[in-house]
Each structure stands twice: as C-alpha cells, then as structure tokens.
Chain A
Amino acid sequence: MLVFYTALSNNMPQLSTPQPLPPGPFLVNTFPASVQAGFPSPAEDHQVERIDLMNQLIKHPQATFMLRVSGQSMRDAGILDGSVVLVDRAIKPESGHIVVAVVDGDFTCKTLQTRPDAFRLVAANPDFADIVPTEGQTIEVWGVVVASIVQHGT
C-alpha cells in the first residue's frame, strides 16, 4: 500500500520539509493505490471461493436453526451428548426423519415413525423407550434434523 499525500490548499507546508504543524485545519489524504512488487501470482486468474460449510449444509437459511443436544438417546444415529444439530423447519417431516419435537413443552430429538393411524418418536439407543402420544397429548414436530456436528478432541 503506497500512500500519496496531496496538498489541497495552497498554504500547506511542503511535506518534504519538516515543519511545525499549522494551527488551523490540515488535510491529509490517502488514495487506495497499490503497486505490485515481485512476480505476479500464477494462481491469480484461478481463484475460486473457499468451500463454505454453511452453504453446503443449509438449504433453507431462513428456516434453519442450530440446537445443541444433550443426552445419549440418539447415540446410535451418531448424535452424541453435546452435538450440534442443524434443524430445518421448511422440510415436511416424514417417517424415518430425525426430528426435533416438542413433547409437553420440552424439546426432544428422536426419529419419527408414522403409520397411517399413529406415530411415535423412537430413540437411537435401546435404553430409551419410544414416545407414543397418550390420550389428549399433542406432540409437535418442531423441525427436521438435516445434519449433526460432533466436535472431536477439543
């Protein structure tokens, strides 16, 4: 980055000669000009955008939220305690989707299984029982899990 100084008023001191600053306004200006030094980069014409993980994972940016999972109930699906799941609310939930559902006001992450007459939420861990809606209970699917992120060794 080279900086050019220009004097915009006539009563400015010559910049090459050291002088005390004037008492009044004093304008110093820069121009964004750069001068290449050395051999030009052969890669310059071949630059592409770096892979953006978010772009790869998220189809509906407005409808996608990140939630952190706690507990081991989805262990066998690769979603561990502390995993972050990307939840897309724009996708219509279908049988077999891993979903985030609201049961009695609380979030839970399970696999959705639907039949023509009923549905249940199934854990990916034999230690956890299926969640079957009881009489009068409403279970709401909040969104569909499209990816899960497990961080290792940190």
Chain B
Amino acid sequence: MLALVDGNNFYCSCERVFQPWLKHRPVVVLSNNDGCAIARSDEAKALGIKMGAPWFKIRHFEEEAGLVALSANFALYGDMSDRMMTLAAGLGHAQEVYSIDESFIDVSGIPGDLVRRARIIRRRIHQWIGIPTCIGIGPTKTLAKLANAIAKSAERKPGSYPAHHAQICHLGACTPEELHALLVATEVGDVWGVGPRIGAQLRAQGVHTALDLQRMSPAATKAGWSVVLEKTVRELNGVPCIEFEDEPPAKQQIACTRSFGHPITELQDLQEAITEFACRAAEKLRRQNSHTGHIMAFIRTSPHREKDPQYSRSASIPLAKAARAANVLDGHARFSLLEKSDDLLVGKSCGLHIRHSPKLADFVPSIWYGSEGAGQGNSKDIVPPLSIGCQ
C-alpha cells in the first residue's frame, strides 16, 4: 500500500507561513524574472487564474481583487520541502521524494488504522511547519495519486466527491461500490499519466471517466496506445507497474532555461546567459557523476505576445566526445546557437537542454586530470577542468 503526501499550493503556502497577512487573499508565486504564475492559492484559482498564466495577463486582478504576486523564493521552498519530507516519512517505512512538494510513502504492513495515522501525520505537518497537505492512499502509485487528487478536490470543491474523503482519501479501504462511484466521478484526463493529448484521444474513443479507462483491456491498450498507458490501466486495477524508487535515479535530461525580464537584443547578453546555463548544467552533471553527449540550445521571443513578430532558433549539438565541463558545453552551445542566429536578435527566453549520456564507456577523454580523492582511478571520480571565472 502506498501513500502520496502532497503540499497544497505549496509555494503559496510556504509564503503564507512567514507572511500571515496573505491568508485568505488571492496569492500567486511568479517564475524566475516574474514571468508567469507557477503557484496559486485557492483564492487565486477561484479568480480563474490558470497555471502558467503570464503575469501581464493577470495583473489586472491586483486592483480588481487584491491579488498579491510574489517573486519565487526557491531557497525557502527547498528548506520547507526538506522539513515536510522528513515529517511525511514518519507515515511509513520507505519514502520516494517525487517532487518538491510530493512524496510517496510505503505503508505496506503498517498495522492499525491507516487513515487515522495519516490524519496524525497531516496534523503534525500543519502544526510544525504550517503547510496544509492532502494524503492519498492506494495499492499502486496511480491509485495513490488518484486518491490524493480526490482528497484535494473534495476539500476545495465541495460536492465533487463525498466530503469524508476531504484531506485524506484511502482507496484501499473503500468498498467496491464506493470505489466504483469515485472512478465514475473522475474524468479520464485527471488520471496520473494521462496528458491532455492522450486524454482528448481517449475521449474521442468514448473513454470519458477513470472507470472507463480502468475497464480497458491492457493488451488492447498496449496495441492501440502505448506501454505507458497500459501500465496506467493495470495500476488502476491495483497491479503495481511503476516502481517505488527510494533512491532517485540520475536525471536523463538537465534543463537550464529562463525568461528574461526584458527582451534582449545584444549579443553579449545572450552569450552571458548561455555561459551561465552551461556552468549550471555542468555543475548538475558532475553532481550526479554523469556526462552528456548532446546539447540543445534555444532562444525565442515570448510566445504570449502573439502580436509581436515571432522568432525562434534552436541548435541541436551532438558531441563527438561525452563531456561535463562547463567550458566545453558553453563553447559548443555558443558556437552553434550564434551560427544559426541572424542579425535580428530579440530574444525573450533562452536555455540549454543537455542529455545524460548513458554509456560512460563512450567517454573518451582528451584531458584527464588527477585530483585529490580520485580514489580507485575510476573515471567517474575524475574532476574535469573548468573554465576560469565560472565557479
């Protein structure tokens, strides 16, 4: 049995702990450079503000509805997340931290009333750090996630689900009839793993609710859709298909991107941004002891300003030799992106995506440096050269 503990409107809730006057007000937290809303309080959601809404489009609520917009403070959210995760871990015997505000807890074999236990943990998180949470419990990750969504909706939108599921919902303790009713009341697009595109395709085929999806044949799903959706169908039927990962796997992709506060027009600004991203990406690579064989660099104008002329360039750069040094990434990204950019350079955002190189054996180093603590001579431990001024 798995539980999913999830902080409600996490970034907004973190801000409210330290700015109590924000309580009961509509609040949004804006992305880097105050580009768009990345967290919304319930009151902001009630105003119809969508996730990712650009600030200039919702700004009018400031005067009309007292909307408060805050710049993201990720250092704070990271610290609050740490605190929340260690408290949530008390629910069971193993934990997978799934994102900054969500973790799966393995509660199989825990004796006693799970709902009561969850209620105690939930109350403790709220009392100790001031963050409201919802907890969903189910036999698989997909069902735990679904239970969590039910717990949230039942609290936020009374009438959407039976009220006793608010805050904590245990699908494993439901009677078959109750479970049936909950699945009927859940739209297929709200099931974990069903994106907007697949959701639309499913609806076109007459699959409207979570129950319809649960009743699909796994074999037909695999043949007609994908292995991923087949796993979702099996998981909805209580068969675990998505592994529980106590230890986070190395990231297959690292992205460093940002919207600029103002459109940039100077070449030097672009170069500086790319260098910064290359350094950050290289740092992340080294932290997980991997290399990249591929870089993607892009620059584009704001897609939210439909009236302005649109410009977008990207460069996909396979590396002859896998690398993780900032200067190597930077050099390649700059060269390729600038080669493609023409004189008209009005960028609003730019970024780097780098792909994890799975086979370290492919790594043929041109310069290897020995360093203290390089240990057994394992190439993983060898620190690559860095360009001066990056760190």
A residues sitting closer than 8 Å to B (CB atoms) are 1, 3, 5-6, 8, 25-32, 60, 62-63, 89-90, 102, 104-107, 140, 142
Contacts and interface: CB of A to CB of B under 8 A. Distances in A.
Interface of B: 20-23, 83, 86-87, 127-130, 364-375, 377
B130 A89 contact: yes
A141 B56 CA distance: 37
B368 A27 contact: yes
A25 B128 contact: no
A25 B364 contact: yes
A105 B129 contact: no
A1 B372 contact: yes
A99 to B, nearest CB: 14
A106 B128 contact: no
Nearest to B85: A62
28 contacts: A6-B377, A8-B377, A25-B365, A26-B367, A26-B368, A28-B370, A29-B370, A29-B374, A30-B370, A30-B371, A30-B373, A30-B374, A32-B374, A32-B375, A60-B128, A63-B83, A89-B127, A89-B128, A89-B129, A102-B20, A104-B21, A105-B20, A105-B22, A105-B23, A106-B21, A107-B20, A140-B20, A142-B130
Nearest to B373: A32
A102 to B, nearest CB: 4
Given A6-B377, A27-B377, A63-B127, 18 more contacts: A3-B370, A8-B377, A25-B366, A28-B370, A29-B374, A29-B377, A30-B371, A31-B375, A60-B128, A62-B83, A62-B86, A62-B87, A62-B128, A62-B129, A63-B83, A63-B128, A104-B21, A105-B22
B372 A90 contact: no
A42 B377 CA distance: 34
What 5 pairs across the A-B complex have the smallest Cβ distances? Answer: A105-B21, A63-B128, A28-B370, A62-B83, A102-B20
Contact of B128 (A32, A90, A104, A140): A90
Given A62-B86, A63-B128, A90-B127, A25 B373 contact: no
A3 B369 CA distance: 13
Contacts of A6: 377
B64 to A, nearest CB: 21
Contacts of A60: 128
B150 to A, nearest CB: 27
A26 B365 CA distance: 9
Contacts of B367: 26
A104 B365 CA distance: 63
Contacts of A8: 377
Contacts of B22: 105
A105 B17 CA distance: 11
A32 B372 contact: yes
A140 B368 CA distance: 60
